[in-house]
Structure 1
Amino acid sequence: MTTWSRAVLVMAGVFVASPGAGAREPVDVALVLAVDVSRSMSPRELEIQREGYAAALNHPDVVRAIAQGAYGRIAITMFEWAGTTAIREVFDWTIVETGADADALSEIVLKSNPSGLRRTSISGAILHGIKRLEAAPFEGFRKVIDVSGDGPNNQGDPVLDAREAAVSRRIVINGLPLMTSDGPGNGFNIADLDTYYSECVIGGPGSFLVPVSGWDQFPEAIRRKLVLEIGGLPASADRAIPAQFSPNQPLRGLSEPYDCLIGEKIWDQRQWMFDDR
């Protein structure tokens, strides 16, 4: 970090850690990528998702956003999730400062081999993201969990409880709802997944979501989302949707509270249809 950058942070009232014994290295953002690999997604969808993340991680726009931060570096980790016990780490906490750093992570993701796993526990993904952030060897000026998913929570703790656990720790949750309809588990999907994510999943100051209605949109969506998260930009700076808003209406205007247990209720009603989803 340059002397000028340090001075800017100090004037803004931000604590700046100095290297030394016991000090965690400061970064602009500590970012957890939580990627859905539930069996409601087809093998082709999993492949598109893997390739989209790989392309986004070393995209010039993302690398530029990293370089423009006060510290000029971020810490990032990535895991795949499905049910409460179905979590697989893709890569551990890694500092990214340069294009070469980003290229190395992109290669790791591209070589990964995601496979569909049982159930959908967004709450489990959030709680695991909290654990990863608390164990991080870096101190993020901002702490973010980035959750992608194609369906509502249907296993584990209620998603509102997990969200509260994150927000109470000053962790922001952003969402990437995959509003596609060609996977094998449509019986457990909901048409208003963007509303569900806005009302039940994302939270914290500046949180936002980027809906994906077709897989052809995914590479650009994840790239834009990473740029916003890394740069700490407001969602209005792009086509992202700020917290509490959906594409068509302000959710604060809903006449009744959104049912954040809709996924659990669908599971109870339809589990006989897809017993292994």
Structure 2
Amino acid sequence: MVTSWFRPLLILFAVWAGPAMAEEVVLELVLAMDGSGSINPAEYELQIAGTIAAFYDPGVQQAILSGPTGRIAVAVMIWSDAAFPRITTGWHLLDSRRLIEGFAAVVRDFHAHTGRQFGIGGGGTGIGDGVVYALGMIDGNRYEGLRKVIDVSGDGVETDPWFRAAPTMPYAKRLVEEQGVTLNGLAILTDFPTLDIWYRNHVITGTGSFVISARDFEDFGAAIREKILRETAFQVSEHRQMVPGRLAQMAER
């Protein structure tokens, strides 16, 4: 039984403790990859293989570990159409070469378990729905980053959703802007040679946002490496006005 004199101390401790502190990172990054009906098994495997290779790359590893906090949080998410589930690796903290390469292994195993069942989920190209889901992933994680970035890759323009109420890019883009998130694009030009222009006009937004194009899926590995390098090496000085308290002080060091 809690004595009367001890109860106020418990209440005071609960108020002082508050919610669990978020872990501070330089970047929260969602790699949102196309798993829609236009992606065949070989193309899906090339996306996964390129992502794995990027995290084994010494330059990428150095960029991740050289930020103000020396750590980022990252997740891979496969999207297609709102009629299909989104599958994700979950969030992983990367603050050492061992953990970075461990995440590459997670992506490899994730691919082995998704395979045709979802890897090429089918359906339309629901980019907006995927972006809104990625925003929820950022909002619901246990990290607080100097920057928050969603990296969308795909081989087509957004199509009409199978579910009429599903979010589309105009709505998703407004949400991204309201939440201060940066949305970047990697356009795979196999079926749409001007897809990079469509991404530039309809997808990307936020400070420092950009589009990188891959000529085809074989070119995806080099493109995703360049993209992750740019996202992890981005100068945080441009984002100091968005960073509260202790993180702002860390960015100044």
Q: Which one-letter code corresponds to 2:158 in the other structure?
A: N
Cα separation, 1, equivalents of 2:174 and 2:120: 30
Contact 1:147 1:175 in 2 (8 A): yes
Look up the match of 1:122. 127
- 1:140 match: secondary structure: strand
CA distance in 2, matches of 1:136, 1:126: 16
Q: Alignment RMSD, CA only?
A: 1.8
Aligned residues: 208
Bigger CA radius of gyration: 2
Instruction: Return closer, same or farther for 1:233/1:180 CA change in 2, 3 Å cut-off.
Output: farther
Amino acid at match of 1:214: D
Residues 233/175 of structure 1: CA separation in 2 closer, same or farther (3 Å cut): farther
SS in 1 for 2:151: strand
Matched, 1:226 2:224: no
CA drift at 1:104: 1.2
Describe the SS at the equivalent of 2:26.
strand
**2: CA distance, partners of 1:35 / 1:76:** 13
Q: Indicate if the aligned counterparts of 2:39 and 2:120 stay in contact, CA closer than 8 A.
A: no
Q: CA deviation at 1:75?
A: 0.4
- Bigger fraction of residues in helix: 2
| Counterparts of residues 184-263 of structure 1 (less than 5 Å) | 190-233=192-235
TM-score (norm 1): 0.71
Judging changes above 3 Å, is the alpha-carbon distance between structure 1 residues 118 and 206 closer, same or farther for their aligned structure 2 residues?
same
User: Aligned pair 1:160/2:189, yes or no?
Assistant: no
8 Å CA contact 2:83, 2:123 repeated in 1: no
Alignment-derived partner of residue 244 in structure 2: none
Structure 2 gap segments, 5+ residues each: 1-16, 237-253
CA contact (8 A) 2:63 2:232 kept: yes
* Alignment partners' CA distance in 2, 1:107 and 1:25: 23
Runs of 4+, deviation exceeding 6 Å = none
| 1:78 Cα offset (Å) | 1.2
CA-CA distance at 1:88 after TM superposition: 3.1
CA contact (8 A) 1:79 1:87 kept: no
Q: CA deviation at 1:116?
A: 3.6
1:143 alignment partner, one of 148, 168, 178: 148
Conserved 8 A contact 1:148-1:178 = yes
Question: Could you give the per-residue CA deviations for residues 200-241 of structure 1, whole angstroms, max 9, x where no partner exists?
Answer: 00000100010111223211110110011111159xxxxxxx
Displacement of 1:63: 0.8
Can you list the C-alpha shifts for 1:116-143, whole angstroms capped at 9, x where unaligned? 4211110001100110010010001100
* Identity value in percent: 31
Distance (whole Å) between structure 2 residues aligned to residue 20 and residue 224 of structure 1: 40
Alignment of 1:42-81 (within 5 A): 42-81=40-79
| Cα-to-partner distance string for 1:27-78 (whole Å, 9 max, x where unaligned) | 0000011110111112111111111111112211111001110000000111
CA distance in 2, matches of 1:63, 1:191: 31
Deviations 1:69-106 (A, max 9, x none): 00000001111010013233331111001111111111
Say if 2:41 is the partner of 1:40. no
